[in-house]
């Protein structure tokens, strides 16, 4: 995976290398997050070169102009806000390293992203997706276990793809998950999900894994290698189409559904935060909005004062 920034006259390469090490070692960013931060920083450096701007002397007005150009390019507010998080990170690093005396991003405003409510599946829709998976095929047995694990444990797709047999403590009812920033957590796993995994294990023992791939839980029957995120995304979308699901579905949809269904049934918000591996409670609170929306619909539908009289 690419984790470097192309040559730029705007910022010395020595500083860029130190910043990359800072993100990798001190911030413990995963390769995917590190790559995203460096890609976003590259856009800023390209702007500096185009406008002949000294990164140490950049003004708030010039940074606002950078944001305006992103808007003009049709980049969504959510993506711009993510890019600006990377810009702020870079300048905090420069301040820490005493490369600058003040942080020009301190008053830089992010665009209003609005209230984002992720797509959620009902239990009936999840059952429909599982039913269309052909379990007479090795891939089907595997994918049925994958869908069950994504929903039952709320895993990120990267966490699922990197799951190892050494992470499974099925006799104790837990799995070990290494999440974003290399942060570990233990997630309970239900008996029915354990049964799905063991069905896959019976199939998997007849598949030859490539050297170095033996400990991965989910591998390809044909290639003997662990699954990529793209493969899981593609398969989930295909199954959703086959099940007649009209919503925009991804592996992350099962994680959203996991959290929402727990909160709907009275789970503690802090407990759900721990299960999801969210660093901030604010990230988990989005599911409260979903829960309240569901509750409002239930009240409007079921409460006698809201029922229309014939």
How many of the other CB atoms lie within 10 Å of CB of 53?
A: 19
User: Taking a C-beta distance cutoff of 8 angstroms, is the pair 113, 78 a contact?
Assistant: yes
Length of the chain: 310
In CATH terms, the fold of domain 123-300 is hpI Integrase; Chain A (1.10.443)
CA angle centred on 92, ends 28 and 87, rounded to 5°? 85
With helix as H, strand as E and coil as C, how does 157-214 read? HHHHHCCEHHHEECCCCEEEEECHHHCEEEEECCHHHHHHHHHHHHHHCCCCCCCCCC
Question: Six-digit token pair at 197?
Answer: 């995994």
Among 48, 151, 239, 287, the one annotated catalytic: 287
Alpha-carbon gap, residue 253 to 269, rounded angstroms: 19
* 194-226: pLDDT as tens digits: 999 999 999 999 999 999 999 999 999 999 999
The better pLDDT of the pair 151, 110 is held by 151
User: Taking a C-beta distance cutoff of 8 angstroms, is the pair 67, 104 a contact?
Assistant: no
Q: Is 289 a catalytic residue?
A: no
The residues near 186 (Cβ < 8 Å, ≥ 6 apart) are 174, 175, 176, 177
What residue ranges do the domains of the chain occupy?
A: 13-96, 123-300
With helix as H, strand as E and coil as C, how does 226-277 read? ECCHHHHHHHHHHHHHHCCCCCCCCHHHHHHHHHHHHHHCCCCHHHHHHHHC
Among 185, 252, 289, 294, the one annotated catalytic: 252
Q: Is 303 a catalytic residue?
A: no
Alpha-carbon gap, residue 22 to 31, rounded angstroms: 13
Is the model's pTM score more than 0.75?
Answer: no
* 147-171: pLDDT as tens digits: 999 999 999 999 999 999 999 999 9
Alpha-carbon gap, residue 122 to 127, rounded angstroms: 9
Q: Is 287 a catalytic residue?
A: yes
309 has pLDDT over 50: no
- Cα 71 vs. chain centroid, distance in angstroms? 24
Q: Is 278 a catalytic residue?
A: yes
125 has pLDDT over 90: yes
Among 180, 199, 229, 237, the one annotated catalytic: 180
Alpha-carbon gap, residue 128 to 151, rounded angstroms: 13
Alpha-carbon gap, residue 90 to 102, rounded angstroms: 13
Among 142, 144, 204, 255, the one annotated catalytic: 255
Among 18, 92, 237, 278, the one annotated catalytic: 278
In CATH terms, the fold of domain 13-96 is DNA polymerase; domain 1 (1.10.150)
The residues near 198 (Cβ < 8 Å, ≥ 6 apart) are 170
* 67-105: pLDDT as tens digits: 888 877 778 888 888 899 899 999 999 999 999 999 999
How many of the other CB atoms lie within 10 Å of CB of 60?
A: 13
Among 142, 156, 204, 226, the one annotated catalytic: 156
pLDDT attached to residue 293: 53
The dihedral built from the CA positions of residue 295, 296, 301 and 307, taken in this order, carries a sign that is positive
């Amino acid at each position: 995976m690419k984790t470097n920034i192309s040559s730029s006259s705007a910022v010395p390469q020595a500083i860029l290398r130190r910043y990359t090490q800072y993100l990798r070692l001190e911030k413990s960013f995963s390769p995917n997050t590190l790559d995203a931060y460096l890609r976003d920083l590259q856009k800023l450096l390209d702007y500096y070169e185009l406008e002949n701007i000294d990164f140490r002397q950049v003004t708030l007005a010039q940074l606002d102009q950078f944001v305006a150009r992103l808007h003009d390019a049709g980049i969504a507010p959510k993506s711009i806000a993510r890019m600006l998080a990377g810009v702020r990170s870079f300048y905090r690093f420069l301040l820490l390293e005493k490369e600058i005396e003040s942080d020009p991003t301190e008053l830089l405003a992010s665009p209003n992203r609005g209230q984002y409510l992720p797509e959620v599946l009902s239990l009936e829709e999840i059952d429909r997706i599982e039913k269309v998976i052909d379990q007479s095929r090795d891939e089907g047995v595997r994918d049925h276990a994958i869908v069950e694990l994504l929903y039952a444990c709320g895993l990120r797709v990267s966490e699922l793809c990197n799951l190892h047999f050494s992470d499974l403590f099925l006799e104790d009812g837990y799995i070990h998950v290494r999440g974003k920033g290399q942060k570990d957590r233990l997630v309970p796993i239900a008996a029915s999900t354990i049964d799905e995994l063991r069905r896959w294990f019976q199939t998997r023992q007849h598949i030859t894994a490539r050297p170095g791939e033996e400990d991965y839980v989910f591998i390809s029957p044909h290639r003997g290698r662990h699954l990529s995120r793209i493969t899981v995304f593609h398969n989930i979308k295909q199954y959703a189409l086959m099940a007649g699901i009209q919503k925009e579905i991804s592996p992350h949809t099962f994680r959203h559904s996991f959290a929402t269904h727990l909160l709907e049934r009275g789970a503690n918000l802090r407990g759900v935060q721990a299960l999801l591996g969210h660093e901030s409670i604010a990230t988990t609170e989005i599911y409260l909005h979903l829960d309240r929306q569901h509750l409002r619909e239930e009240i409007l539908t079921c409460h006698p004062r809201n029922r229309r009289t014939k």
